Amino acid sequence: MASSIRASILRFSVLVALLVLGSAAFAQLNGPISIRDMRPYNLLFIQMQPAAPDALTPGRAVTGVQMDIANNMLIPRASGGVVVYEDNEYQRVTLSLRKGLRDGMEAGAYIPIMWRNGGFADGLLSWWHRMFGIPANGEDNPAGRDAYPKYQSVLAFTDSTGIPLVDAHNAFGLGDITLTLKRPVMRASARSATSLRFGLKLPTGNPGLLLGSGGIDVGASLDGRYNLGREVSLYANLGASLLGHASRVPNAHTLCTQYLFAVEWRANTRDSFIWQTDSNRAPVVTGNAFADGIQSSATFGYRRALTQSSALTLSFSENGDIHNYTIPAFSNIGADFTASAKIEWVH
């Protein structure tokens, strides 16, 4: 009888330990969705991807695979004689690794593989605009989607005299690799956390194909979290980047600022819903006033714990089309549509 009771207690203790460890592992996967504005020129330079300030404990690691699909359609009215023509699709697969270090620090590496092409979403987006009453001939494309061939891959702009400064089409290959280091500013608690994150972008992408800038970028971000009770968390990232020499695109800035604000609602121990908005200064000045406006997008996402140590995150991002470009800080110039899926594993 006593041995049976001891065995039951042991099994119950193991179950509780597994549940606690599983909850702790899933907590490492909470936070903003790691997606920023995917307009093509934004992708050439360092993007400090949205992140929670909480660092992994020493020895613990998180690996991830993320697939992003962004459809770009930006053909605004000529401004100052400058013509911007962006009609393409990007598929990007990013392999990531984050590892906890001593002294509360965390290191990360992000390796993107990108493909710019005509894509497959043009017809779907035409249906999407009709279904939800979103104008297909907004300020980003006054002529409307149907005025241009579907499934083409163009990334171009000309100066005021009609000279082409950028003229790129299909491309495939490795993008620029980014390395990060996170360090807490203050001791994290259940209520709040703050950390500094530093980034280094290596010129591993082919600048001739506009899969990278051809230069080294560095960035820094102040990341914060504040919990409103047990179910709702607020996140904010505020950062700046020093952009290295861009060898194939003209008029690139040397300093680019960015911010993120996110809200996560944990509906239960397995499901979370996230809303966030990200914004940054246009890294490349085309001379077209509309295209050079605030680069921002709004993202809506869902995260599901698949096991005790893995999670799937799905998200959808929109540009200023959803409100006819009346709230630039919420969403403005960016990919017409971005769909993203990410699987992460805690080790």
Instruction: Give per-residue pLDDT as tens, 259-287.
Output: 999 999 999 999 999 999 999 999 999 99
Instruction: Find the DSSP H helices in 28-154.
Output: 40-43, 122-132
Give residue 202's region: left, alpha or beta (phi > 0; psi -120 to 50): beta
Where in the sequence is the domain holding 212, given as residue range(s)? 2-346
- Residue 41 has what pLDDT? 98
**157 with 168: CB under 8 angstroms?**
no
Q: Is the per-residue pLDDT at 131 higher than 80? A: no
Rg (CA), the chain: 22
- State the first-to-last Cα distance of the chain, in angstroms, to the nearest integer: 39
Mean pLDDT, rounded, for 327-332:
95
* pLDDT of res. 135: 65
Instruction: Assign 3 a pLDDT band (cuts: 50, 70, 90).
Output: low
Q: Are 296 and 278 in contact (CB under 8 A)?
A: yes
* CB-based burial label for 344 (10 Å; 0-12, 13-18, 19+): buried
Q: Report residue 325 CA to chain centroid gap.
A: 21
Q: Kindly tell me if the per-residue pLDDT of 56 is higher than 90.
A: yes
Burial (CB count <10 Å: 0-12, 13-18, 19+), residue 135 = middle
17: pLDDT strictly greater than 70: no
Segment 292-321 shows an average pLDDT of 96
Average pLDDT of every residue of the chain: 91
CB neighbours of residue 160 within 10 Å: 12
Burial readout 317-327 (b: 16 or more C-beta within 10 A, e: otherwise)? bbbbbbbebee
The CATH number of the domain holding residue 197 is 2.40.160.40
Written as six digits, the tokens of 227 are: 């919990």
Structural domains of the chain, count:
1
Asked if the model's pLDDT at residue 288 lies above 90, the reply is yes
**How far is Cα 259 from Cα 46, in angstroms, rounded to an integer?**
13
Q: What is the pTM of this model?
A: 0.89
| Percentage of the chain exceeding pLDDT 90 | 82
Predicted confidence at residue 118, as pLDDT, reads 95
Torsion angle (degrees, nearest 10) of CA 44, 46, 49, 50? -120
Identify the DSSP state of 308.
T
Kindly give, in sequence order, each residue whose CB lies less than 8 Å from that of residue 21, ignoring residues fewer than 6 positions away.
Answer: 308
CB under 8 Å to 14, separation ≥6 — which residues? none
